[in-house]
Amino acid sequence: MQTNTLFSSLSFNLPIEAVLSGLAEGTVHRGQSGIAVRCGHRHYLAGEDPAFEAAYCAEFLVGLGSSMFVLCGEEALLQRLAQGPLAERYPLLDWRGYYALDTADAPPPQPLLAGYALVPVDAALLARQELAGLDDLREEMVSERVSVADFLARSFGLALLHGDELVGWCLSEYNTATRCEVGIGVAEGHRRQGLATCMARTFGQLARQRGIEHIGWHCWRSNQASANTALAAGYQSVCAYPVLFGYGDNTLNLAVNGNMCLRRGEAEAAVSWFGRAFAAGNPVWALLPATRACLRSGDAEQARVYLQRALDSGAVDGKTLADDPELADLL
């Protein structure tokens, strides 16, 4: 079984190469004619081996709790998992976009807004205990490294400062000899000002200085803000690819299915999924979308029931409700 051949259609997912070559933490599982590479909550599967796929799914679901899982592979394989070993988990099929930058073509950095600064992510930054937000950065640094020290030794990145607060980061992920992927985030309250684009452009230049020739950017296809940032930073759209995702908690899976149907405009299907979710548990966050689903499907009475529960639980307050033209007159 040739591993590289099996994963040829997924080769743009750098965690596969990083794990197989020992450059990132992960595990490799092999069957007679199938293979799986696990990297955190992401699982990359290839081949056609139903027995292996079923055994692998049963293994990774043990102890999952309410955590998320994301499976990447050919669409036919994902459909096979959704209808077979994962059917009772009600996983969802969605699409992610992949964008790529050749650093030789990286656009020049843009000037930052006044009051902001970009600094390297290094030991000196982490020693600045007066900075708010350092713990969030450290958590992000170990999202694919075994420790902060491991990140500092094998990865690199930039932090966005606003006074004594760390409000953003742009970090390399799954570094190989000449490739990496990028993870980027900006804190609430500092978004929609072009700061992510500034970071991403500066990161492209930094990556080139470090010998990186190719950077990959992944985001959900529905995340237009992330896609726009990638394009503004010089990345090119390469492809969209299917993923199967879900959670260890089936109540959460049912509610997320309802939310996905609501986003697609399928109100009646959303009502059914939300009803099953609330029969199984109490996903308070889903009360407001369930209200919208009922209202859009013509069931104002049930919409009022969900909305009152949302108010009683604190999931929504009166001011938010008064400012919402769809729901303001419901109660």
Closest-CA residue to 99 (of 245, 242, 220): 220
Three-class SS of residue 162? strand
Helices and strands per DSSP (H, E), number in the chain: 14, 11
**CA-CA distances (angstroms) from residue 91 to 30, 42, 45, 68, 171?**
23, 14, 16, 10, 30
Residue 159 · residue 118 · CB < 8 Å: yes
pLDDT at res. 172: 98
Rounded Cα distance between 203 and 181, Å, is 11
Rounded Cα distance between 291 and 4, Å, is 48
pLDDT at res. 37: 97
Residue 184 makes CB contacts below 8 A (sequence gap 6+) with 168, 169, 170, 171, 196, 199, 200, 203, 229
Residue 53 · residue 85 · CB < 8 Å: yes
Residue 255 · residue 273 · CB < 8 Å: yes
The token duo for 272 is 């059914």
Taking the CA atoms of residue 226, residue 227, residue 230 and residue 235 in that order, the dihedral angle to the nearest 10 degrees is 160
The structure's pTM equals: 0.91
Three-class SS of residue 171? strand
Closest-CA residue to 177 (of 23, 20, 15): 23
pLDDT at res. 3: 59
Query: Which pLDDT tens digits describe the chain residue by residue (331 residues)?
Result: 455 688 999 999 999 999 999 999 899 999 999 999 999 899 999 999 999 999 999 999 988 888 999 999 999 999 999 999 999 999 999 999 999 999 999 999 999 999 999 999 999 999 999 999 999 999 999 988 999 999 999 999 999 999 999 999 999 999 999 999 999 999 999 999 999 999 999 999 999 999 999 999 999 999 999 999 999 999 999 999 999 999 999 999 999 999 999 999 999 999 999 999 999 999 999 999 999 999 999 999 999 999 999 999 998 887 778 888 888 888 7
Closest-CA residue to 310 (of 291, 294, 329, 325): 291
